[in-house]
Every structure is written in C-alpha cells, then in structure tokens.
Structure 1
Amino acid sequence: MREFLTSAGSQFEYTSELIGAQRVDDTGGVAVVHLEGDFPGGVADLRYRFTMAGDQITVGHHHLRATHRRQPGAL
C-alpha cells in the first residue's frame, strides 16, 4: 500500500497547494492539500490526518475527495 501511494502520482503532472490545516485535539490535526493536474478527474482534495509528539510529525492516513474542476481565474 505504501508503495502504491508513493508512486501513484508519478505518471501524472500536477500542482499541489496546502489550503488548510486544523488542530483536532492535543495530539494532532488534519491538513488539506488541493491537487490540480492531468490525472483522471483533474482536481482533488486530500485530507491528511497527522499526529505530533515532541518535534516529530507523523502522517497517518488520508482521504480523497474529488472536487469540480475550477474555471480559469475563478476562486
């Protein structure tokens, strides 16, 4: 699974932008990364759950949410 997630996007060109982060509890939170590219669907938001312990941040799992393709110049 880790290999799939690491290499899954390598066949596509895309841009990514951190669009949000929220602390969920005392141990971590959720970061949202917006992707746009030439992969099927063209646009997606990934939600990464992370935990913090001291100076270490561990990314647990992520959820994919497809979004609608934005029109050029639209927010």
Structure 2
Amino acid sequence: MQSLADQFKNSDAEQMVEETHLENLPWHQIYEVQGRKQHKIPYRMAVRKQEEDAVMGLAADRADMVATLRK
C-alpha cells in the first residue's frame, strides 16, 4: 500500500484511473468484460501470477490466525 501511496501521491483521480483501469487488468475484467459494475475485485485477481501461491498462502494463514484469535 505504501508503494501505491508513493506512486500516486501527486496524482489526481483521472491519472489514477488511467493507470489502474487498463485493458486486461483486474478492474477491466470485472467491470467491462464480466459486466459486474460496482463489484469487488477478487483478491486473487489483484496478485501477480508469479506470486499468487505465496501471497494466497499468507492470506490463508492470516485468516486462520484471525479466526483463532476471535475464539
């Protein structure tokens, strides 16, 4: 998140949209291709393919830890 904040700290909304709503990126797939306007982008779609297994494993571990702490 910090890298995104640094990247766009001097940008306006239009510049951010130009960068993040490019064809073949998750937003385009959900909003334009699937027609699911105002839907959440699945976390898995926002992760780089080469990092998907590691990131999703960490996300699952975190979810398990949160569930354990809530008991």
Query: What is the TM-score of this pair, normalised by structure 1?
Result: 0.24
Larger Rg: 2
Decide which structure has greater strand share.
Answer: 1
